[in-house]
Structure 1
Amino acid sequence: MSEHQQHYGDVADVNDVSAEWRLARSPGRSTRHGVVRSGWIAFAGAMMVLIGAFNVIEGLAGLITDDYYLVAPTAVLVLDLTAWAWLHTAVGVLVVLTGAALLGGAQWARVVTVVLLIFNATAQLAFLTVQPLWSLLVIGLCVVVIWAVIVRGGEEIG
């Protein structure tokens, strides 16, 4: 055995380890890095449930108490406040259900998530004059979840 092999081991072993490491680090492999990346879908699902709950609360607040939202008659776009309350409630329920499906691993939920959150962010934008901080919070959450599903969602383990 040469002195080189005594100090550094067999060079072929080092190359094999290097090749295994590169293979394990490639996308779609079951590695620690892959587990972290797949967590984006779990994050998106949990945030969908939260965003949906926010919408349901926002809608129910308008339905239960007529004077909860105080605005000028021309401040809300297109619909009156009762219609907006129903819209927020219905969208909120759909968002919660889609978030649960996303957490369950349903592939269709990714597309529905993006569509629902684009619609939700647009509705919140129209509702901005009524609840500015709340609407901005929900719009920001929508953007983060859309990013998580589109940019990071295709990176799965396994």
Structure 2
Amino acid sequence: MTRTAHGSTSVGRRHRTSGWLAFAGTLALVVGAFNVIDGLVGLFDDDYYLVGDNQILVFDYDTWGWIWLAVGIVQIVVGAGILAGQMWARVVGVVLAVAAAIGHLAFLQAFPMWSVLTIALCVLLIYALTAPPAGARGT
């Protein structure tokens, strides 16, 4: 929305704020931190998870560790971008939340409660990123 004062030639720019985007930015930071923790545990403590190596879909613990660490770091950066009002961060946030939810489905056997919690937070994050109008900012 633009606003022009009567009798003035300057044009100010106002942004609609959205509590959902502030929530989404914070939630992206939390989900990113959860994924970083998953990654570090996968890299440094193979005995922590509940199942054997052959029961996790596709990859071993070290590979999952690197995947979750990378996804988590990017999600933290995206969370900061969402809080800063960047549209690219909203788009990347949705893509990463979908990817993380699917990844945690594959990781369910290794750590069920953590994965279910993270999947639920990813679904909530997707909603929080897609519900506000296109021009809205979190702060």
Q: Does TM, normalized by the shorter one, top 0.5?
A: yes
Determine which of 42, 58, 61 is the counterpart of 1:81: 61
Residue 62 of structure 1 contacts residue 85 of structure 1 at CA under 8 Å; is this kept in 2? yes
- Structural RMSD (CA): 1.8
Q: Is the 8 A contact 1:69 1:130 kept in 2?
A: yes
The reply on whether 1:146 has 2:133 as its aligned counterpart is: no
Is the CA contact 1:41–1:153 (under 8 Å) kept in the aligned structure 2?
no
Q: How many residues align?
A: 124
Q: Secondary structure at the match of 1:78?
A: coil
Moved over 6 A (4+): none
Task: Normalising by structure 1, report the TM-score.
Answer: 0.73
Gaps of 5+ in 1: 1-28
Partner in structure 2 of residue 47 of structure 1: 27
Name structure 2 gaps, 5 residues minimum. Answer: 1-13
Quote the residue 1:71 is aligned against.
Answer: 51
User: Offset of 1:109 from its aligned partner?
Assistant: 0.5
Task: Point out the structure with the larger helix share.
Answer: 1
8 Å contact kept, 2:50–2:111:
no
Q: 1:51 to 1:155 in 2, by over 3 A?
A: same
Q: Following the alignment from structure 1 to structure 2, what is the Cα–Cα distance between the partners of residues 54 and 145?
A: 14
What CA deviation, in whole Å up to 9, does each residue of 1:81-114 have, x standing for no partner? Answer: 1101110111000000000111011111110000
TM-score normalised to the size of structure 2?
0.82
What is the distance in 1 between the residues matched to 2:28 and 2:110? 22
Identity of aligned residues (%): 48
